[in-house]
Structure 1
Amino acid sequence: MVTTAAELDAADPLARFRERFVGADTDLVYFDGNSLGRPVASAADRLGEFVRQEWGGRLIRGWDESWMELPTRLGDDLGRVTLGAAAGQTAVGDSTTVWLYKLMRAAVDHAVRTDPGRTEIVIDTDNFPTDRYVAEGIAAERGLTLRWIEVDTSTGVTADQLTDAVGECTALVVLNHVAYRSAWLADAPELTRIAHAAGALVLWDLCHSAGAVPVALDEWDADLAVGCTYKYLNGGPGSPAFGYVNTRLQGELTQPIQGWMGHADPFLMGPGYTPAPGMRRFISGTPPILGMVAMQSMLELVEEAGIDAIRAKSVALTSYAVELADATLPEVTLASPRDAALRGGHVTLHHDRMREVTARLWRRDVIPDYRDPGGLRIGLSPLSTSFDEVERGIAAVAEALR
Structure 2
Amino acid sequence: MLRRGSFSLPEGVIYLDGNSLGPLPIHTPERVARMLREEWGAMLIGGWNGVTRNGAGWMEQPMKLGDRIGRLIGAEPGHVTVGDTLSIKVFQALASALAMTDRKVILSDSGNFPSDLYIAEGLMGTLGQGHSLRVVEPEAVADEIDGEVGVLLLTEVDYRTGRLHDMAGLTARAHQAGVLCVWDLAHSAGALPVDVRRAGADFAVGCTYKYLNGGPGAPAFIYVAPRHAGSARPALSGWLGHDAPFAFERSYRPGDGVARMRVGTPPVIQMAALEASMDIWDTVDLQELRLASIRLTERFIAGVEATCPDLELASPRHPAARGSQVSFQHPEGYAAIQACIAQGVIGDFRAPDIMRFGFTPLYIDEDDVDAAVAVIARVMGERLWEDPRYRERGAVT
> Is 1:84 matched with 2:74?
yes
Structure-2 residue corresponding to 1:397: 376
> Is 1:70 matched with 2:61?
yes
Structure-1 residue corresponding to 2:325: 346
The Cα of 1:359 is off from its aligned counterpart by: 1.8
Over residues 260-284 of structure 1, what are the superposed CA-to-partner deviations in whole Å (9 max), with x where a residue is unaligned? Answer: 1011110011111111111111101
The 3-state SS of whatever aligns with 2:260 is: helix
> Is 1:202 matched with 2:181?
yes
Structure-1 residue corresponding to 2:254: 275
Q: List aligned pairs for 1:70-219, cutoff 5 A.
A: 70-80=61-71, 82-112=72-102, 118-142=103-127, 143-149=130-136, 151=137, 157-158=138-139, 161-219=140-198
Over residues 32-84 of structure 1, what are the superposed CA-to-partner deviations in whole Å (9 max), with x where a residue is unaligned? Answer: 1100011110111111111111111222111112111110111011102x010
> Is 1:381 matched with 2:360?
yes
One-letter code of the match for 1:83? I
Give the fraction of aligned pairs with identical amino acids, expressed as a percent. Answer: 38
Structure 2: which 5+ runs fail to align?
51-56, 383-397
Shift in alpha-carbon separation, 1:366–1:163, aligned structure 2, 3 A? closer
Answer yes or no: is the 8 Å Cα contact 1:38–1:384 preserved in 2: no
The 3-state SS of whatever aligns with 1:59 is: helix
2:110, 2:337 → 1: CA distance?
A: 25
1:385, 1:188 → 2: CA distance?
A: 27
One-letter code of the match for 1:97? S
Answer yes or no: is the 8 Å Cα contact 1:317–1:390 preserved in 2: yes
> Is 1:18 matched with 2:4?
yes
Q: List aligned pairs for 1:19-34, cutoff 5 A.
A: 19-23=5-9, 26-34=11-19
1:293, 1:386 → 2: CA distance?
A: 28
The Cα of 1:303 is off from its aligned counterpart by: 2.4
Q: TM-score, normalised by structure 2?
A: 0.91
1:119, 1:271 → 2: CA distance?
A: 32
The 3-state SS of whatever aligns with 1:73 is: helix
1:253, 1:278 → 2: CA distance?
A: 8
Structure-2 residue corresponding to 1:228: 207
Q: List aligned pairs for 1:41-60, cutoff 5 A.
A: 41-60=26-45
The 3-state SS of whatever aligns with 1:51 is: helix
One-letter code of the match for 1:78? I
One-letter code of the match for 1:133? Y
One-letter code of the match for 2:107? V
Answer yes or no: is the 8 Å Cα contact 2:4–2:362 preserved in 1: yes
> Is 1:237 matched with 2:237?
no
Count of residues paired in the alignment: 373
The Cα of 1:369 is off from its aligned counterpart by: 0.2
2:254, 2:337 → 1: CA distance?
A: 48
Q: Which residue of 250, 258, 263 maps to 1:284?
A: 263
The Cα of 1:195 is off from its aligned counterpart by: 0.8
Q: Which residue of 314, 335, 341 maps to 2:314?
A: 335
